[in-house]
Amino acid sequence: MLWLHLFYHDLHTALIQKKGATAADFNRAVYERLKPGGCYVIVDHAAAAGAGTGDAQSLHRIDPASVREEVEAAGFVLDAKSTMLANNDDPHSIKVFDPSIKGQTDRFAYRFVKI
């Protein structure tokens, strides 16, 4: 199992890209290293629906649909998702470190499996 907590969005920041890494490369590497049945769990700060990866650098958020699309492109299958960490009062337009939302952001949790 590999568990990423609140930093999948960082795979889309300038720092990571400057080093020549991509989310696609990372996801492929995870897939190659897990055994069949292995789990890849991602919990992160949600961006507004449709935002894609555009808020990763500025707000430290990512659209859950983009995460799902990227991880499934590496060969994983979405096995489970949870709304336990959801916050419907989060406007998705505030940086996650802003005191008004810090620690209370709308978050998503996905569990993918390698078949």
User: What tens digit of pLDDT does each residue of 24-70 get?
Assistant: 999 999 999 999 999 999 999 999 999 999 999 999 999 999 999 99
Contacts of 37 (CB under 8 A, 6+ apart): 113, 114
Query: What are the CA-CA distances from residue 62 to residues 37, 38, 68, 71, 114 (Å)?
Result: 26, 24, 11, 13, 23
Average pLDDT, the chain: 97
Domain ranges of the chain: 2-108
Cα gap 64→42, rounded to integer Å = 10
Query: What percent of the chain lies above the pLDDT cut of 70?
Result: 100
